[in-house]
A and B are shown apart, each in its own frame.
Chain A
Amino acid sequence: MAGMSGTIATPEFPQDGFPSRLGDRPLRVVSPRINLRQRVRQIWQYRELLLGMTRKELRVQYKDSVLGFLWSMLNPATNLLVYFVVFQIILRNGIPHYAIYLMSGVLVWNFFSSSVSGACGSLVANSHIIKKVAFPREIPALAQVGSAMMQMGFQSIVLVIFLAAFRTAPAVDFVILLIPALVALITLATSLGLLFAALNVKMRDMQHLLGVALSVWFWATPIVYPFRQIRDRIQFYPSHFKWLLDLYRMNPVTPIVLSFQRAIYGVTSPKGASGQPIHILPDHAGLWWYSWQLLAVIGFAVALGVFALGVFGRREGSFAEEL
């Protein structure tokens, strides 16, 4: 499927009278392996398909529903409401502007989980075209990431409305963090999504496994509770639980969520209702601390992406048969 270009010097004219049309046409090679660069170039060549499929995903998701696109906001809004009621009202965690704190983390998580789980099932869902048409097989998975991005965009509009309503401002110095954080988030979600998409073709329980993993992962990320609630207590935990904490600290989504919270929620240790400071985010962590963490996540995500494309390439030759 690679679009290698080659030319023939002089187009010949066959005896039958029609001029040769192929003389300068590009060659395409269908072979068991194509390299990473060709793979990426192919995806780029099909960028219009990616756009079209992304649009389709959004359209089809809420087809024929009266509220239509509103559902894509209503769903996370309900989740937010539940967390809010449980943690703020019933458990009295005392975090001021808890809704903003929640939303800045949930925004990241919704994108992450819906793009990874969407990508995981994307090849199976598009099996009818994969069996009949040749196009880069990464596209359906990438389209899921694309549609998750669109939804994230809409949800962030709601977040901005909330910020205005609560009259809280994001931390101006840290807003710049959102850019590397988004890059890290998108790269990580794409890489993981591609990997699971490729594996799910043959082993269909990948999507169930992923569902379980994601729900654990959500609670292993400081989204509804503050990061420092875990970090500050690490020293008090018995040592044979240390490995669990090490695992916790390796969660690549955490630095992304922290960056979003630092930038949008803005404060690290706000004063609670009783006047005591409530420790939420690291106090003395500056831009560099976040940047290094994000850089590490990006590095990991890129490596994972190369690996995922490798797995994809190894497996894609038999997608059409296994679907």
Chain B
Amino acid sequence: MPTAIEIRDVSKRFRLYHQQFTSLKERVLHGGRVPYEDFWALKDIAFEVDEGVTFGLLGHNGSGKSTLLKSIAGIIQPTRGEIVTRGRVAALLELGAGFQPEMSGRENIYLNASLLGMSRSYVDSRFDDIVGFAELESFIDNQVKYYSSGMYVRLGFAVAVHMDPDILIVDEVLAVGDELFQRKCLERVKQFQREGRTIVVVTHSPDMVRQVCSRAAVLDHGKLVGLGTPAEAVRSFREHLLRREAYADASELGSLISLADDGSRNGEATNGAVDSAPAEKPEMVAYHGKRETGLKITYTRFEYAHSDERDYAISGESLRIVVGYHADRSYDDVLPGYTVYDQEGRFLFGANTKLFPADIKVEPGDGEFVFEIDSLPLLDGDYPVTVGLLTHDEYTVYDWHEQQYTLSVMSEGMVTGLLAVPTRISMRPRQTGPEALRVRGI
């Protein structure tokens, strides 16, 4: 399969001037020398993206992922190295960038399209599709300044996706427009995937990577620190995120201890990252940094009624998740937990012993942790399960099996959707008269 994007030892340097001297006077006063620091936003990044792959670029704020994305799009040029892309590249960094408020929607379509490199005749042939997709048929000759922000964005998206890109570059800012239009956009992205187009998505949300991408790279401080399947990438992302958060200054043990001592502070300490990735918040284990190898998960088993004769659990019945471990020595702070995801990688639910009054102690040897669910609230499907063992402060990971298990569920009920909510359905005659009024609460 041909390579769609080749990134060859790309580095990007930014000059950080201690003061922004943008005027000649200031430059002259400083003898032409403005104190600056070199900041390498990207350092020797090299990887390839195969055709047809939906590729995630994962990283925290300031990791260089946006710089790389802009370099692939050709908006900025790397200081060293080069990027080779094959085919037409469309970058959705900002929808409707370059719209002229004074001009009509029709004129803006042509102007925006030529900005993206499309010819006038090509736009002519797609014009009705673009307008139809944007749902702006009756407003297309109005000035864009009278458009609502939703209409604006819809038009921008419509132009961008109709330029028939071979490579689509998407920034996560795409969560725009009303829900219906968002679904339409996602649908279009999926159609692009089916058509074998290459898509690069920049995000700091691991969920997004799990849901949409087939491969991902992780950037940290301008370096490529992970490259592989979404699960591998997410794991590497978490490790580096925590290292950044908690071990920013690893020599200062004091600050580390104060972080570890205070459970509530711990939550705050990771808040910066949590805010930027809202979906992460309820998750059992947000991040982990240090590995301790003396305590291992030896197996994970799902136990349910008749689990010896069938390999699926039944909705609404009880389920036990049994996690076996082996300890080389005794540990006095162990936090076992599990997390269940749906097929698209969305975090569904999970539990751990974080709120236990006392830390869990483990003696040397083998043992099991058992999580019991009385009534399994899942419908038909296969659900990836993550299990892990770590310390109470979540900074030391003993062992971690990211989505290594699959829980199969069969549902016998008539409920549809995501959750198995047992519902009784009955019928009764409609009540009239004073009785009915009372029921309505009048």
- 23 A-B interface contacts by CB (under 8 A): A14-B1, A14-B51, A19-B196, A21-B87, A21-B195, A22-B2, A25-B86, A25-B87, A25-B166, A28-B74, A32-B79, A49-B111, A49-B114, A52-B110, A126-B98, A131-B75, A132-B93, A134-B75, A134-B91, A135-B116, A203-B27, A205-B25, A321-B76
A313 → B minimal CB distance (Å):
9
Interface size on A, residues (CB 8 A): 53
Contact residue among A134, A204, A319 (Cβ-Cβ distance under 8 Å from B22): A204
Tell me if B94 is interfacial: C-beta within 8 Å of chain A.
yes
What 3 pairs between A and B have smallest CB-CB spacing?
A: A18-B196, A134-B74, A25-B87
Within A30-76, the residues touching B (CB, 8 Å) are 30-32, 45-46, 48-49, 51-53, 56, 59-60, 63-64
A11 to B166, CA, bound (A): 15
Judge whether A18 and B120 touch: CB under 8 Å.
no
Judge whether A129 and B115 touch: CB under 8 Å.
yes
A132 to B100, CA, bound (A): 15
A-B CB contacts (within 8 Å), total count: 153
Contacts of B52 in A (CB 8 A): 14, 16, 18, 20
- Stretch binding the partner chain, chosen from B65-73, B181-189, B251-259, B284-292: B65-73
Judge whether B117 and A46 touch: CB under 8 Å.
yes
Within A177-231, the residues touching B (CB, 8 Å) are 202-206, 209
List chain A positions with a Cβ less than 8 A from chain B.
1, 8, 11-12, 14, 16, 18-23, 25-32, 45-46, 48-49, 51-53, 56, 59-60, 63-64, 126, 128-135, 202-206, 209, 316-321
Instruction: Tell me the nearest residue of chain A to B81, going by C-beta.
Output: A31
Interface size on B, residues (CB 8 A): 53
| Most chain B beta-carbon neighbours within 10 Å: one of A25, A133, A209, A317 | A133
Judge whether A28 and B89 touch: CB under 8 Å.
yes
Instruction: Tell me the nearest residue of chain A to B27, going by C-beta.
Output: A203
| Most chain B beta-carbon neighbours within 10 Å: one of A8, A23, A48, A56 | A48
Contacts A22-B2, A205-B24 aside, 6 further interface pairs with beta carbons under 8 A come to: A1-B74, A22-B166, A29-B82, A53-B111, A64-B102, A134-B74
Judge whether A20 and B103 touch: CB under 8 Å.
no
Judge whether B88 and A25 touch: CB under 8 Å.
yes
A46 to B2, CA, bound (A): 27
A318 to B16, CA, bound (A): 12
Contacts of B76 in A (CB 8 A): 317-321
Judge whether B74 and A49 touch: CB under 8 Å.
no
A208 → B minimal CB distance (Å):
9
- Please classify the interface of chain A as helix (H, G, I), strand (E, B), loop, or mixed, using the class held by over half of its residues: loop
Judge whether B194 and A18 touch: CB under 8 Å.
yes
B150 → A minimal CB distance (Å):
19
Judge whether A205 and B51 touch: CB under 8 Å.
no
Tell me if B64 is interfacial: C-beta within 8 Å of chain A.
no
B350-378 interface bits toward A, Cβ cutoff 8 Å, 1 = contact, 0 = none? 00000000000000000000000000000
Contact residue among A59, A203, A319 (Cβ-Cβ distance under 8 Å from B23): A203
Contacts of B197 in A (CB 8 A): 21
Tell me if B80 is interfacial: C-beta within 8 Å of chain A.
yes
Contacts of A22 in B (CB 8 A): 2, 4, 51, 86-87, 166, 198
A190 → B minimal CB distance (Å):
20
Contact residue among A19, A23, A27 (Cβ-Cβ distance under 8 Å from B85): A27
Contacts of A206 in B (CB 8 A): 24
A52 → B minimal CB distance (Å):
5
Instruction: Tell me the nearest residue of chain A to B8, going by C-beta.
Output: A31
Given A22-B166, A52-B111, A31 contacting B77 (CB threshold 8 A):
yes
Contact residue among B85, B117, B198 (Cβ-Cβ distance under 8 Å from A30): B85
Instruction: Tell me the nearest residue of chain A to B164, going by C-beta.
Output: A21
Judge whether A30 and B2 touch: CB under 8 Å.
no
Judge whether B87 and A49 touch: CB under 8 Å.
no
Instruction: Tell me the nearest residue of chain B to A53, going by C-beta.
Output: B111
Within B52-68, the residues touching A (CB, 8 Å) are 52
Given A48-B120, A134-B75, A321-B14, A32 contacting B80 (CB threshold 8 A):
yes
Given A23-B2, A203-B23, A30 contacting B196 (CB threshold 8 A):
no
Within B169-221, the residues touching A (CB, 8 Å) are 194-198
Tell me if B348 is interfacial: C-beta within 8 Å of chain A.
no
B32 → A minimal CB distance (Å):
11
Tell me if B330 is interfacial: C-beta within 8 Å of chain A.
no
A48 to B79, CA, bound (A): 30
A27 to B6, CA, bound (A): 10
Within B235-250, the residues touching A (CB, 8 Å) are none
Contact residue among B51, B94, B97 (Cβ-Cβ distance under 8 Å from A20): B51
Instruction: Tell me the nearest residue of chain B to A51, going by C-beta.
Output: B114
Contacts of B149 in A (CB 8 A): none
Given A29-B83, A52-B111, A203 contacting B116 (CB threshold 8 A):
no
Contacts of A320 in B (CB 8 A): 70, 75-76
Judge whether B2 and A20 touch: CB under 8 Å.
yes
A71 → B minimal CB distance (Å):
15
Instruction: Tell me the nearest residue of chain A to B88, going by C-beta.
Output: A25
Contacts of A126 in B (CB 8 A): 98
Judge whether B111 and A28 touch: CB under 8 Å.
no
Judge whether B23 and A30 touch: CB under 8 Å.
no
Contacts of A130 in B (CB 8 A): 75
A203 to B76, CA, bound (A): 19
Tell me if B84 is interfacial: C-beta within 8 Å of chain A.
yes
Instruction: Tell me the nearest residue of chain B to A45, going by C-beta.
Output: B117
Tell me if B119 is interfacial: C-beta within 8 Å of chain A.
yes
Instruction: Tell me the nearest residue of chain A to B50, going by C-beta.
Output: A14
Tell me if B316 is interfacial: C-beta within 8 Å of chain A.
no
Contacts of A205 in B (CB 8 A): 22-25
Judge whether A48 and B119 touch: CB under 8 Å.
yes
Contacts of A1 in B (CB 8 A): 74, 77
Given A18-B195, A22-B166, A30-B85, A317 contacting B117 (CB threshold 8 A):
no
Contacts of A60 in B (CB 8 A): 100, 102-103
